[in-house]
Structure 1
Amino acid sequence: MACVDEKVKVVESCIVTPSEEMPRHRLWLSPLDLMMVNRGHTPNVYFYRYASSSGVVDDIFFDVARLKAAMAKALVSFYPLAGRLGVDGDGRAEIDCAGQGAHFVVARSDLTVDDFSDCQPSLELKRLFVPRIVDDSPCVMLAVQLTFFKCGGVALGTALHHVAIDAVSAVHFFETWSAFSRAGSRENHVAQVLELPCHDRTLLRARSPPRVVHPDAVAVFWPLKDNPNISEPSPPPGPVVNEIFVVSKDQIAALKHASSGASTFCAVSAHVWRCMCVARRLAPEATTRLTFPANFRRSLRPPLPARYFGNGIIMVGAAGKVRDIASEDQLALASVAERVKEAVRGLEDELVRSTIDYLEMNGAPPASSMPETEVRIVSWLGMPVYDVDFGWGKPLTMMRAVQQRAGLIYLIDGEQGDGGVRILLSIEAEALEDFQRLLYKNL
């Protein structure tokens, strides 16, 4: 019996392979996929409270055999997640799809779900509940850890390699896996109604010959090199802390009204950007930048299939002088929200194609820390992350297990579907108190 640490004991570790024959080939990766080769696995965790009655006689709460069988079924269609990271003859990364399988870990703990009812992303959360990926080669694409608490509740930790999929595709996989689990022996019926993923990543192949024509394509990936107005990263001023803030439905409505009817994403992003500029005490004449990954599946001409399975996102953004973004003028929030809206509107076919061409010619930019003047917002708004119901109820909460990059922020719908928004924030410790005060000021 292995131990994650003294709080969690691993009782089983196995490989789940596709339950039926699946395509066996080496999957070519797009330039956008290749950007994620060194990003590693995305660590998330779901918490489920024990349900004494799930409507099934003699049902076992989070029955391991049922979950494995459902995963094996889902991996038939989502077969890249059962593969391994490899390289072709030219040294280009690819996914070797040979049905090697996903890692499945079962653990037990004397902790309770309520011990984590108000937790924040942390290294401990990842260490306890996200399966460890051994640095062996070839690398697995998917690993999960099911931890049973003494209260009967469960933590489901997941590690998905970003080279294989983005958040949209991850949600599609979990929708399918959980649907097979809910159906139990009726999985054939489920297979007929679920939408199948599209694995044709050549849809995002660079043009021949590649050509970069969109003026924003280069700046999206090399803001420091190509935009002298963006400040170079400075040494971290101190420790980075994580905090989750909840903005209620009424507060969201107030923000949208002050933003001249902007969308929830634009209004909240504009407000958070302004708060970060002030809390970080940025120089008024400095140029600040808001960036965010945007799903372009519907923006291409022709559009990508809605269920395209891979990385269908590029980074877009807006910039401005700190004095303009953080202005106390009554109309400033609407002005900043309009900048964000313009960035969203700019997501069109030529920008995406130019970005792919640029990456094909130049490769992915090297990993680096964000400058203090940059805020990056990842939106999971509208994604059914709380609908991952394996047959025993929806999760109590879901979050990133760890987040340690100052200036990185996740927006997630409120846990109870009440119209609110949860803001998962990573920020310099010295700026946290001011940010909290500014976030709720006048709301």
Structure 2
Amino acid sequence: MGVEVKAAEPCIVKPSEETPRHGLWLSSLDLMLAKSGHVPLVYFYRSCPGTDGDVARLKVALARALVSFYPLAGRVGVDGDGRMQVDCAEQGVPFLVAHSDHTVDEFSSFKPSPELRRLFVPCVDDSPSVVCAIQVTFLGCGGVALGAALHHAVADGASTFHFFRTWSAFSSGDGAAAAALELPCHDRTLLRARSPPVVHPDALSVFCPKLSPSELSGAVANEIFDISKEQLDALKRACGRDVSTFCALGAHVWRCVVAARRLPPDATTRLVFPANVRGCLRPPIPDSYFGNGIIMLGATGKARDVASEEHLASVAGRIRGAISRMDDELVHSAIDYLELDLGGSSLPTKPAGSLPKNELRVVKWLDMTAYGADFGWGEPLVMHLAVQQRAGFVYLMDGVGGSVRILVSLEHAILNDFQRLLHANAAKL
């Protein structure tokens, strides 16, 4: 595709009321994810007649939401010690309005791609300190694409979707929905490291402090697959009683990737996944905590065992076992470890490359009410990353009617084998 989006000069939307002005301290969990830079998200909405007149309403609602979510209107900087922070001084959110002759149906596959990001996500390459930027593109069919670039140093998935739910509730005029939403909690000292930091000896057997990006030869392919509710129910039955959707589907995807990659039987493979710490601390921190409240957990196994069709319940058990070990001590040990590793660093650099072939990261975007973002156009048709160019990443997202959508970023050479195994193995259950 050529350049088919015509955009006006961006304006800056600032909070509609005075907000705190200070340097917002970032926890070691924030610094861990800051190297990811800006996360490119895109929402697509079906035909919405007369949407051009919605720009003023969107801006007013955004300004109102930024009163509570004021760090999004700040800029990434450093404190006097060279530690990354967010300078909160109501600098505002760049807001771009664009028009395109494209239609929603042209993006029916909705596969992440550099083109999808180029068309619908605001470019922040020249403004890396911007925390959040928004682009609203009105499509030729009457639909809307809403793109955002949001710095990972400031928010994880739960916090990001909390913001979008709030903004959309103000925008749609749903007073009841807006009133029901909790205000964000900005006390990041709740995740401050202990003094002195202490890392429990057993913590590193579950907590994964670092991934090891490597240069991958060959192209990376993005694809989206659907697992029906019936297939998901069969997977869960095969994994035993009370197994979660994440454990069952994570085990299934892991074994399919290991088999498709043809890892040596004795090779050790690792599944890494982010886990929400908000309810694991004692006392727990609020669900409305705004920031990064996740640590990386890992489950390992021999390739022969993970890829075996007979061992699916055991593989799911490995994942569930890692989750069950996440308690107050493990979380604090993870925070302390990262503080020792990252606390004295300045602005982190973005990692390059894909994951090693023996590693896979699976991210859960299930039950996060990510689709609860009705700006007056109805529920979004789809929401996901606009681009993912590193192999070894999988996102699990809610589908339609109890199904699950699986966004995979894998080596192009193994994609066909992965697809065959994904559906063939599920059909055998």
TM-score with structure 1 setting the length: 0.90
Q: Distance in 2 between matches of 1:200 and 1:236?
A: 40
Is 2:192 aligned against 1:201? no
Asked whether the equivalents of residues 17 and 72 of structure 1 are also in contact (C-alpha less than 8 Å), the reply is yes
Aligned alpha-carbon RMSD (Å): 2.0
Asked whether the equivalents of residues 412 and 423 of structure 1 are also in contact (C-alpha less than 8 Å), the reply is yes
Matches within 5 A, 1:49-198: 49-52=46-49, 60=51, 63-136=54-127, 139-183=129-173, 192-198=179-185
1:362-389 deviations in Å (ceiling 9; x for gaps): 2179836421000100000101111110
Secondary structure of residue in 2 paired with 1:65: helix
The one-letter code matched in structure 2 to 1:405 is R
Is 2:274 aligned against 1:283? no
Q: Distance in 1 between matches of 2:152 and 2:98?
A: 25
Provide structure 1 residue ranges, at least 5 long, that are not aligned to the other structure.
53-58, 225-231
Q: Distance in 1 between matches of 2:206 and 2:314?
A: 22
User: Measured at CA, do residues 78 and 128 of structure 1 come closer, stay the same or move farther in structure 2, by a change above 3 Å?
Assistant: same
User: Where does residue 384 of structure 1 map in the other structure?
Assistant: 369
Q: Distance in 1 between matches of 2:307 and 2:205?
A: 27
The equivalent position to 1:239 in structure 2, one of 216, 219, 230, is 219
Asked whether the equivalents of residues 361 and 392 of structure 2 are also in contact (C-alpha less than 8 Å), the reply is yes
Provide structure 2 residue ranges, at least 5 long, that are not aligned to the other structure.
none
Q: Distance in 2 between matches of 1:243 and 1:173?
A: 27
The equivalent position to 1:437 in structure 2, one of 392, 399, 420, is 420
The one-letter code matched in structure 2 to 1:434 is D
Question: How far did 1:237 drift?
Answer: 3.6
Asked whether the equivalents of residues 218 and 358 of structure 1 are also in contact (C-alpha less than 8 Å), the reply is no
Is 2:342 aligned against 1:352? no
User: Measured at CA, do residues 190 and 72 of structure 1 come closer, stay the same or move farther in structure 2, by a change above 3 Å?
Assistant: farther
Question: How far did 1:35 drift?
Answer: 1.6
User: Where does residue 35 of structure 1 map in the other structure?
Assistant: 32
1:290-334 deviations in Å (ceiling 9; x for gaps): 0000111000111011100000000001001101111232xx100
Q: Distance in 1 between matches of 2:45 and 2:110?
A: 14
Question: How far did 1:257 drift?
Answer: 0.7
The equivalent position to 1:335 in structure 2, one of 314, 323, 331, is 314
Q: Distance in 2 between matches of 1:340 and 1:15?
A: 44
Q: Distance in 2 between matches of 1:169 and 1:62?
A: 29
Question: How far did 1:223 drift?
Answer: 6.2
Secondary structure of residue in 1 paired with 2:309: coil
Asked whether the equivalents of residues 51 and 142 of structure 2 are also in contact (C-alpha less than 8 Å), the reply is no
The one-letter code matched in structure 1 to 2:391 is A
1:30-74 deviations in Å (ceiling 9; x for gaps): 11111223211100111111134xxxxxx7467000000000000
Q: Distance in 1 between matches of 2:209 and 2:194?
A: 21
The one-letter code matched in structure 2 to 1:385 is A
Secondary structure of residue in 2 paired with 1:302: coil
Asked whether the equivalents of residues 208 and 297 of structure 2 are also in contact (C-alpha less than 8 Å), the reply is no
The one-letter code matched in structure 1 to 2:203 is D
Q: Distance in 1 between matches of 2:38 and 2:47?
A: 28
Query: Identity rate of aligned residues, in percent?
Result: 60
Asked whether the equivalents of residues 50 and 61 of structure 1 are also in contact (C-alpha less than 8 Å), the reply is no
User: Measured at CA, do residues 79 and 233 of structure 1 come closer, stay the same or move farther in structure 2, by a change above 3 Å?
Assistant: closer
Question: How far did 1:213 drift?
Answer: 1.1
User: Measured at CA, do residues 218 and 30 of structure 1 come closer, stay the same or move farther in structure 2, by a change above 3 Å?
Assistant: farther
Q: Distance in 1 between matches of 2:64 and 2:371?
A: 22
Q: Distance in 2 between matches of 1:169 and 1:89?
A: 27
Asked whether the equivalents of residues 51 and 61 of structure 1 are also in contact (C-alpha less than 8 Å), the reply is no
How many positions carry a matched residue from both structures? 419
User: Measured at CA, do residues 208 and 148 of structure 1 come closer, stay the same or move farther in structure 2, by a change above 3 Å?
Assistant: same
User: Where does residue 318 of structure 1 map in the other structure?
Assistant: 299
Q: Distance in 2 between matches of 1:322 and 1:60?
A: 52
User: Where does residue 264 of structure 1 map in the other structure?
Assistant: 245
Q: Distance in 1 between matches of 2:86 and 2:205?
A: 27
Q: Distance in 1 between matches of 2:410 and 2:29?
A: 28
Secondary structure of residue in 1 paired with 2:35: helix
Q: Which runs of 4+ in 1 moved over 3 A?
A: 59-62, 189-193, 217-224, 232-235, 364-369
Asked whether the equivalents of residues 70 and 181 of structure 1 are also in contact (C-alpha less than 8 Å), the reply is yes
User: Where does residue 360 of structure 2 map in the other structure?
Assistant: 375
Q: Distance in 2 between matches of 1:202 and 1:429?
A: 43
User: Where does residue 56 of structure 1 map in the other structure?
Assistant: none
The one-letter code matched in structure 2 to 1:202 is T
Secondary structure of residue in 2 paired with 1:246: strand
1:150-177 deviations in Å (ceiling 9; x for gaps): 1111100111100000000001100100
Asked whether the equivalents of residues 5 and 128 of structure 1 are also in contact (C-alpha less than 8 Å), the reply is no
The one-letter code matched in structure 2 to 1:19 is S
